[in-house]
Structure 1
Amino acid sequence: MREALPQLRVAVVIERQHQPNVWEDWRFVIADVVPDTGLFGDAPRVLRDDGKTAQTLYPGFDVTLFHDEGEGYYLNLTSGAPVWFVMWRVDDEHPSRAWPEQVTLSYNEAGRLLDAQERVDNLPLGADEREWLQAWTDANYRPEVKQRKRPASFRAPGQR
């Protein structure tokens, strides 16, 4: 029987601003990542909308810790300010709409998404989630010991 992978369920809050300046019709900001205890339901819901600024909650994102992403979790934790990474998209046909697609805690996974030209923003990780990630990373990942390589000029010609 396979071991179940640790998982958190979260919801993402996106803030939409209408005409924040003369150059933009719409601006989107990832406003928050909160635990999803199941009380939010399955569908997005508008938390507030005053015509200028709206906040919408998108529930149901599973953040699963995978063994092959251990280095990415370690890099996030040792960055000095661990974060949630949220990949999100804007509707090309209706630029007033945006939604989150994925939430991760892996620095490496976020880097791959950015390399693929995706939008990825980050938000500070809460203390409880940081402790959870730290405990898992301590138990499941060991960084490779860096070994100093001698410059080629100091090696014998046959070893270069």
Structure 2
Amino acid sequence: MTTRPHIEVAVVMRKVPTSSKWQPFRWELAEVVRHEESFGTEPRLLQREPSGAEQWLHPALRVELFRDEAEGYHLNLTTDAPAWFVMWRMEEEPTVADEPIARPVVVTLSYHEAGRWLDAQETVENVPAPGEVLAWAQEFADAHYVPEPRKRKRPESFRRLEDRFGNPASVSTGKKYGGGEGG
């Protein structure tokens, strides 16, 4: 069994008070950092302010690079602001706090993967990725990304004629009905 290139990261989620009476706070992605052994493996509260703002550390998330995502890495790396993409969900029931908290589920560097999550109506946010991580992903993308060759577009005049139902159609220059020659 071969192992994929991977790194361990920790995600910091932030609870931010709002001025809305219907939603007193919202959760947002604060940052993604390299995992350190001292972080442990369980989420923990980093900071709680009198305003109700909180920061939670979610350690030991694995970021793997997949060959079939090489184009997604390439697209991310060639933007003006290459980023980590984090898909997160709210807990159904509280597990480590008195109330449910936002939990990161997956972290990636693939633009395509993040797009699929968004298409599935998941919550996805991004933050800038550091240079050493970008260099690591760039090396992988360079080794595995092969741009698809551009296909020459056939001129419209060579396209097969079809009717509105997709059946072959023909064009004739002769008269089909009515008074033909000498008639």
What is the distance in 2 between the residues matched to 1:96 and 1:111? 26
User: What is the match of residue 89 of structure 2?
Assistant: 89
> Equivalences for 1:1-20 in 2 at 5 Å?
2-18=1-17, 20=18
The answer as to 2:19 corresponding to 1:21 is yes
**Pick from 129, 132, 138: which aligns with 2:142?**
138
Structure 2 regions of 5+ residues with no counterpart? 162-167, 169-183
Name the SS of the counterpart of 1:5 in structure 2: coil
What is the distance in 2 between the residues matched to 1:21 and 1:105? 33
User: What is the match of residue 44 of structure 1?
Assistant: 43
How much has 1:80 moved relative to structure 2? 2.3
What is the distance in 2 between the residues matched to 1:143 and 1:89? 34
What is the distance in 1 between the residues matched to 2:113 and 2:5? 17
How much has 1:109 moved relative to structure 2? 0.9
Q: Which has the higher strand share?
A: 1
User: What is the match of residue 125 of structure 1?
Assistant: 129
What is the distance in 1 between the residues matched to 2:34 and 2:4? 18
How much has 1:56 moved relative to structure 2? 0.5
Name the SS of the counterpart of 2:37 in structure 1: coil
Aligned-residue Cα RMSD (Å) equals: 2.0
TM-score by length of 1: 0.88
How much has 1:150 moved relative to structure 2? 2.7
Query: Residue 157 and residue 93 in structure 1: after superposition, are their counterparts in 2 closer, same or farther (change >3 A)?
Result: closer
What is the distance in 1 between the residues matched to 2:59 and 2:31? 12
Runs of 4+ in 1 over 6 A off after TM superposition: none
What is the distance in 2 between the residues matched to 1:67 and 1:57? 29
Whether contact under 8 Å (2:15, 2:25) holds in the other structure is yes
User: What is the match of residue 109 of structure 2?
Assistant: 105
How much has 1:157 moved relative to structure 2? 5.2
Whether contact under 8 Å (1:26, 1:96) holds in the other structure is no
Report the residue type matching 1:59 in the other structure. P
Whether contact under 8 Å (1:76, 1:107) holds in the other structure is yes
Whether contact under 8 Å (1:61, 1:102) holds in the other structure is yes
What is the distance in 2 between the residues matched to 1:114 and 1:104? 13
Whether contact under 8 Å (2:88, 2:102) holds in the other structure is yes
Q: Which has the larger radius of gyration?
A: 2
How much has 1:45 moved relative to structure 2? 1.2
How much has 1:148 moved relative to structure 2? 3.3
Structure 1 regions of 5+ residues with no counterpart? none
Please list the CA deviations of residues 52-102 of structure 1 after superposition, one character each: whole Å capped at 9, or x if unmatched: 211000001100001111111111112222111100012356775211111
How much has 1:50 moved relative to structure 2? 0.9
Name the SS of the counterpart of 1:39 in structure 2: helix
Give the total of aligned pairs: 156
